[in-house]
Amino acid sequence: MTDIHEFEIVREELHRGRGEDTNYDVIYRADSGEQMGVVTRQYQLITHKEAVDFVLETLDAKKIAVGESKINLIGKGKRMDCEIHLPGMRFAVRQGDEFDPKIVLRNGYDGWTSFGITTGVYRLVCLNGATVFVKDSDARLKHFYKSVDFKALKEPLISSVQAIASTMMKGYEKLQRCEGGSHLQIILKEPTIATKYKDKMLEDLSDYIQVKKDEKGKILDVIALKFFSAYVLWNILTAIITHQIKSIQTRRDMSAIVARLFFS
């Protein structure tokens, strides 16, 4: 793992031009002087290094293997995203349909970003390397405490990591058994998806459904011609998201909506 997150942080009282105390502190990088954020005196600083070390040390104590990991810094270090692979927990629902459990760690100095740990799985959906992420659990620790209690996150972190493969596999197996028509009706009512991607989705389902429209092209009814699973529909939607949405953030937002509709 690279050490780009291990830069030194300085915290100083923030004063106005005449020396008047503002009751706020300014946080900046010691190496470049780049301002990271302005925070209240109650703000408990958690460095990126402390956040990453906590997760890695917790996993190591439980002998949970950690694979290749990636750290991204946003805003010259104001925020951090860290993806930690868990290679010993990879699984496949069926041949060629493989899933990669990960921990996504976030932290920030901007006064708004909580220290957060999300567990879930990434799935390769295209040979071009496109993936989708399905969240399994989420835990956050706000900086607004005089004493940050990392211990409060240890057990939830270990429990979620140890259960991630079985929990997510059951979810995928359930989608393979579930009839997709009911999910389709829910998706068609979701404005974010239906507005832009409805026609493409229905086109990709043409082997399974018949769409009746009026003379203006408005959909009157969707009739199932043969059984298709919710898993088939989820695959179609994830393919649309990864191929048609260029913005990484929009793609993440759409993937989160789809995951909520299928897995919540």
Domain boundaries, the chain: 45-174, 178-263
Structure token digits, residue 203 = 């086109």
In 3D space, the residue among 34, 28, 71 whose CA is nearest the CA of residue 49 turns out to be: 71
- Which pLDDT tens digits describe the chain residue by residue (264 residues)? 568 899 999 999 999 988 899 999 999 999 999 999 999 888 888 899 999 999 999 999 989 999 888 899 999 999 999 999 898 888 777 666 778 888 989 999 987 788 888 888 877 555 455 566 766 667 766 665 556 677 778 888 888 888 887 887 788 888 888 999 888 888 888 888 878 888 888 999 999 989 888 888 788 888 888 999 998 998 888 888 888 887 777 877 888 888 788 876
* Cα-based distances in Å from 76 to 73, 102, 109: 6, 24, 11
How far, in Å, CA of 21 to CA of 39, rounded? 13
Q: What is the C-alpha to C-alpha distance for residues 197 and 240, in angstroms, rounded to an integer?
A: 8
CA distance 2 to 4: 6
| Ramachandran assignment for 111, one of left (phi > 0), alpha (psi -120 to 50 degrees), beta (any other) | left
Query: CA–CA separation, 103 vs 160, rounded Å?
Result: 10
User: What local confidence, expressed as pLDDT, does residue 22 receive?
Assistant: 93
pLDDT at position 136 is: 67
CA 90, CA 79: separation in Å to the nearest integer? Answer: 28
pLDDT at 24: 93
